[in-house]
Structure 1
Amino acid sequence: MRDFFSGSVARCPGLLLAASLGTVADAKAWLDDDANKVDVLLTDLGLPDGSGLDVIRHAIRLHPRCEPLVISMFGDEDNVLASIEAGALGYIHKDSTPDDIAQTILAMRAGESPISPMIARRVLSKYRSDQFNKQNMAVAPVKKAEQAIKKIALDGAGDGAQHGLLSPRELDVLGLIARGFSYGEIARLQEISVHTVQTHIKNLYGKLSVHSKSEAVFEATRMGLLSRHD
């Protein structure tokens, strides 16, 4: 698997393979060398001598701008959330590994946070479950007031489309993303260039404070933007 990823990166004109290592110890030793610089760290979690989380933390400590991407067989919520807390910007399950990981890395460098649909669904399900449990717990009066304020804020967020949070074209693009269309297909349907589609997506990411298509769809749905638009 490591050779497969290394080959994909090495063949990509836009990327330079800095190193290919098999253990936590080797990775830390390589990172400790001041002559070695890294922009992207691609790591598994289950390594022979420890966890890839340790490599992520070590890399970020030495290279704060490093962008870690996890590819692992572990798809449970705990490992995903632990990876995000450690600093990972993307999480791909090995069962849904892309044919060309180099393109995923380039997309991440362009601002996306790649995550396998299966994992995104699990994390969102856990989030919804946690929210449901919180709403049904007995809370102190102050906590109840905080929840009431939050509910008012969320109810009001449904009017975001009317208040111009997203432009009509951004809503069109987001609606097509939610339906599974690719950038190229959206460009043809909207009669605009792929570059313009990417610009709209970048702008709506910023407005929604998200970093991936799945996050954008989830957040827009939560705010009532997609339902109103549809």
Structure 2
Amino acid sequence: MNADRIRPTGSAVAGDRAAAIRVVVVDDHPVFRIGIAALLETLDGVSVVGSAASEDAAVELVLATAPDVVLMDLDLGDGSGVDATRRILRERPGTGVLVLTMLGDDESLFASVRTGARGYLLKTASPQEVERAIHAVAAGELLLGGEVARRAVSFLSGAKRAGGSPFPELTEREREVLELVAQGRDNPAIARVLVLTSKTVRNYVSAVATKLGAADRGKLIVLAREAGYGGAAEQPAP
């Protein structure tokens, strides 16, 4: 498994942490992953039971260790933290996912929350904010960092003002991506049109599908075309 396990050692430690909040750390940057795990181990009432560097490893590790909270980065190299969250919550619905990321944009925030994450912090958060968020998420609460919360309020206000247009929750870039998806274009083709990487397009498509509640690309195309997207639509590749 592509995951680094961190386990308490010794029966005394195991006994002391029996009632602790069990945390898994997911981040593809080893220095940050190791550093945040070390920080969490210093907190009272928190026990790090493992860490992972990729989407697949994160899902496998969560299923193996059954943590209370998953500290989730969104950019996982070839994988997506949003997709990892979706897969984890499909298998273990009670798991608390706390996003800890450098991505403070609306797309990332709302894709994460719609997928089921209970918390969202930027990596600039203080250790005290991280500790508070872990306890809140473990208790079933929804917690957004200060700057993230301000963005959420701004986003919701803008969506309300734009309520007459289809899918007001989408950003302008997401609408561009959805238009091309509705035309039946695949991710590499969309990337060429918008001058983006295929990975970035994949993340946009995942965020749009999450916002609109589409289970797969085919259902997303149907929703988009019913709303008037797609123009002279091509048939999707089989």
Using structure 2 for the length normalisation, give the TM-score: 0.51
Distance 2:71 2:41 in 1: 13
Aligned-pair CA distance for 1:16 = 1.8
Q: Hey, what does 1:14 align to over in structure 2?
A: 45
Q: Is the CA contact 1:25–1:49 (under 8 Å) kept in the aligned structure 2?
A: no
Q: Hey, what does 2:146 align to over in structure 1?
A: 117
Distance 2:139 2:61 in 1: 26
Report % sequence identity: 29
Comparing 20-29 and 68-77, the one that deviates more: 20-29
Helix, strand or coil: the match of 1:91?
Answer: strand
Give the residue type in structure 2 aligned to 1:24. Answer: E
Q: Hey, what does 2:135 align to over in structure 1?
A: 106
Distance 2:151 2:56 in 1: 31
The 1:103/1:126 distance shift into structure 2, 3 A limit, reads closer
Q: Hey, what does 2:74 align to over in structure 1?
A: 45
Give the residue type in structure 1 aligned to 2:75. Answer: G
Aligned-pair CA distance for 1:56 = 0.8
Helix, strand or coil: the match of 1:112?
Answer: coil
Helix, strand or coil: the match of 1:18?
Answer: strand
Q: Hey, what does 1:94 align to over in structure 2?
A: 123
Distance 1:58 1:26 in 2: 12
* Greater fraction of residues in strand: 2
Q: Which runs of 4+ in 1 moved over 3 A?
A: none
Aligned-pair CA distance for 1:38 = 1.6
Instruction: Write out aligned runs for 1:209-224 (5 A).
Output: none
Q: Does 1:28 align with 2:59?
A: yes
Give the residue type in structure 1 aligned to 2:126. Answer: P
Aligned-pair CA distance for 1:40 = 0.7
RMSD of aligned Cα (Å):
1.9
The 1:114/1:51 distance shift into structure 2, 3 A limit, reads same
Distance 2:141 2:112 in 1: 16
Distance 1:52 1:68 in 2: 10
Q: Hey, what does 1:60 align to over in structure 2?
A: 89
Q: Is the CA contact 2:96–2:140 (under 8 Å) kept in the aligned structure 1?
A: no
Aligned-pair CA distance for 1:80 = 0.7
Q: Does 1:5 align with 2:33?
A: no
Aligned-pair CA distance for 1:13 = 3.3
**Number of residues paired by the alignment?**
133
Aligned-pair CA distance for 1:130 = 1.6
Distance 2:104 2:84 in 1: 19
Answer with 1 or 2: which has the greater Rg: 1
Aligned-pair CA distance for 1:111 = 4.4
* Greater fraction of residues in helix: 1
Give the residue type in structure 2 aligned to 1:52. Answer: G
Distance 1:66 1:28 in 2: 12
Q: Which runs of 5+ in 2 are unaligned?
A: 1-31, 166-238
Distance 1:53 1:111 in 2: 19
Q: Deviations over 1:177-213 (max 9, x none)?
A: xxxxxxxxxxxxxxxxxxxxxxxxxxxxxxxxxxxxx
Q: Deviations over 1:83-122 (max 9, x none)?
A: 0111100101123x12243332113323432212212111
Aligned-pair CA distance for 1:46 = 0.5
Q: Deviations over 1:3-31 (max 9, x none)?
A: 22211222223122111111112212323
The 1:111/1:57 distance shift into structure 2, 3 A limit, reads closer
Q: Hey, what does 1:175 align to over in structure 2?
A: none
Distance 2:113 2:136 in 1: 18
